[in-house]
């Protein structure tokens, strides 16, 4: 069976037709990175299609916001149940469209289920505050209310999980949704949104509460600019995020940004090197290095530097690379040729600085797809491409002498997403996670930089955008705060003891 035929079978199994994409524009060809063949052809959304989707979501907000939050949670519960019931075909779809290995595809679907479970509990915990008032017979409250239409712009590398982080929370908070996925992975969006619309309709609500549109940058720009959209949650490059932030600021609307990451792990003299090798390998080569949390820099104490490089090189030499649908594969393809070109340019820049590059070559015999052996790069110092994010499997390794120097190197990049330290020294672990340590939104001890759980708020600082999604109190990003003062007495005392008597 061809991959295109398998896609058609999966979509039929999920009850979704490729033509149900709310599009009437030019054809959008979807290719698999496995062998570059065409999976499907979808109609892209025109400006009129996008306007209709937003207007439908805006119209339904007026009723959805008044639905009790636990009732909204019931919709998200049903959505999670449908996703769980179709975990295998959804995981397969992710692998076909993104090139992720089978276990990573299934893991992403499980993440959708997990965040739905989190959001269902949250639907009964949208707490405000009661604050002591300085005035007698007064109550001071802080309450939370939905925003309106939330736009979600997602990237190709997590075509389902990132949307679910946003959608599950935004829905229980009382918002409606318009989703523009990456033009590289519209089939995953079509399938997942189809299940969400099924959940809505089974629970007695209109599927237009959650709309999906397809297109390129132009569609994203129109979505960001639309006055009915009150929050734009965007995942992608820092350059894209900067444009989104500026456009939102010009219209005084909110943005929630999850952008790039140039993540580092510090390896201390006391580190368990076996743990480091396993943790670093997964974080550096998982998803073929195409994660925002990918480990890109390994900052190693000079005393263990040579041994660790030797161990990692041995692992890299025997990595099973190939078709991600095969159970033995650990590294699948890059998404496209542009990713390969970016990788080779970074490796050339590293060589020009005196680096020793191990591997990084394209695998022969698998064209026109883009399979590479992940690169391990010994850098004489932290400079050049090591200070930049390249969305490909490159792990730069450099040495340090003092722990303070290592922390400074960790923080010496524009991004601030994820970081890690491997140590058995309690002082080093505590210092790394303190205000004097890592400046990233995620700071781990004795695990790698990738693989965050949904219970904690996910996101980073600096050019990573500052947004937080998924767990903890990330729900507040999807709501507006109101301060309420209630006078249940018969007098009107003013704050700060001010007297203003107009009765004569």
Using alpha carbons, select from 278, 391, 285 the residue that is nearest to residue 331: 285
463 is catalytic: no
Cα-to-chain-centroid distance, residue 115? 13
Cα-to-chain-centroid distance, residue 175? 20
- Give the DSSP H/E element, type plus range, for residue 36: none
**How far is Cα 191 from Cα 203, in angstroms, rounded to an integer?**
19
Kindly list the distances between the CA atom of residue 338 and the CA atoms of 33, 403, 473, in Å, as whole numbers in the listed order.
12, 37, 37
Strand partners, 151: 178, 232
Tokens of 383: 């400079």
With beta carbons less than 8 A apart as the criterion, state whether 330 and 285 touch.
yes
Describe the crossing of helices 186-202 and 3-13 by its angle, rounded to 10 degrees: 10
Q: What is the DSSP letter of 289?
A: G
Q: Considering the candidates 97, 258, 463, 469, report the single residue annotated as catalytic.
A: 258
Which residues contact residue 410 at a Cβ distance below 8 angstroms, ignoring those fewer than 6 apart?
A: 264, 266, 297, 299, 419, 438, 439, 440
At residue 331, the 3 state secondary structure works out as strand
Q: Which residues are catalytic?
A: 258
């Amino acid at each position: 069976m061809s991959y295109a035929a398998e896609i058609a079978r999966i979509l039929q199994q999920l009850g979704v037709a490729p033509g149900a994409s709310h599009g009437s524009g030019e054809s959008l060809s979807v290719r698999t990175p496995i062998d570059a063949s065409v999976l499907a052809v979808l109609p892209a959304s025109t400006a009129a299609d996008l306007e209709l989707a937003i207007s439908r979501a805006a119209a339904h907000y007026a009723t959805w916001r008044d639905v009790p939050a636990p009732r909204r949670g019931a919709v998200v519960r049903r959505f999670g149940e449908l996703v769980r019931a179709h975990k295998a075909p959804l995981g397969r779809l992710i692998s076909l469209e993104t090139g992720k290995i089978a276990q990573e595809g299934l893991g992403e679907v499980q993440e959708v289920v997990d965040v739905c479970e989190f959001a269902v509990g949250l639907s009964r915990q949208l707490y405000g505050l009661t604050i002591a008032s300085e005035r007698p017979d007064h109550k001071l409250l802080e309450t939370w209310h939905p925003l309106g239409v939330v736009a979600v712009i997602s990237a190709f590398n997590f075509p389902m999980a990132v949307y679910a982080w946003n959608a599950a929370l935004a829905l229980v908070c009382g918002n409606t949704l318009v989703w523009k996925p990456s033009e590289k992975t519209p089939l995953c969006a079509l399938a997942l949104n189809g299940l969400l619309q099924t959940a809505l309709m089974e629970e007695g609500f209109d599927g237009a509460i959650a709309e999906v549109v397809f297109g390129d940058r132009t569609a994203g720009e129109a979505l960001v600019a639309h006055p009915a959209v009150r929050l734009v949650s965007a995942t992608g490059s820092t350059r894209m995020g900067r444009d989104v932030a500026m456009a939102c600021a010009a219209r005084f609307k909110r943005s929630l940004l999850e952008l790039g990451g140039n993540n580092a792990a510090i390896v201390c003299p006391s580190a368990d090197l076996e743990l480091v090798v396993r943790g670093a390998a997964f974080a550096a080569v998982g998803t073929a290095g195409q994660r925002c949390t990918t480990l890109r820099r390994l900052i190693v104490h000079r005393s263990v530097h040579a041994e660790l490089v030797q161990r990692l090189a041995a692992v890299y030499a025997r990595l099973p690379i190939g078709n991600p649908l095969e159970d033995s594969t650990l590294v699948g393809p890059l998404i496209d040729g542009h990713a390969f070109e970016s990788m080779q340019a970074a490796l050339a820049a590293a060589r020009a600085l005196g680096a020793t590059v191990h591997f990084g070559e394209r695998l022969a015999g698998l064209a026109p797809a883009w399979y590479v052996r992940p690169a391990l790069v010994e850098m004489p110092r932290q400079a050049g491409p090591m200070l930049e994010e390249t969305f490909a499997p490159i792990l730069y390794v450099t040495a340090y002498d003092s722990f303070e120097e290592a922390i400074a190197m960790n923080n010496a990049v524009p991004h601030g997403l994820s970081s890690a330290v491997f140590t058995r020294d309690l002082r080093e672990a505590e210092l790394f996670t303190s205000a004097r340590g890592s400046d990233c939104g995620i700071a781990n001890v004795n695990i790698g930089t990738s693989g965050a759980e949904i219970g904690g708020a996910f996101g980073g600082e600096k050019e990573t955008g500052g947004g937080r999604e998924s767990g903890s109190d990330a729900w507040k990003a999807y709501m507006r705060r109101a301060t309420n003062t209630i006078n249940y007495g018969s007098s009107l005392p003013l704050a700060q003891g001010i007297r203003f008597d107009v009765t004569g």
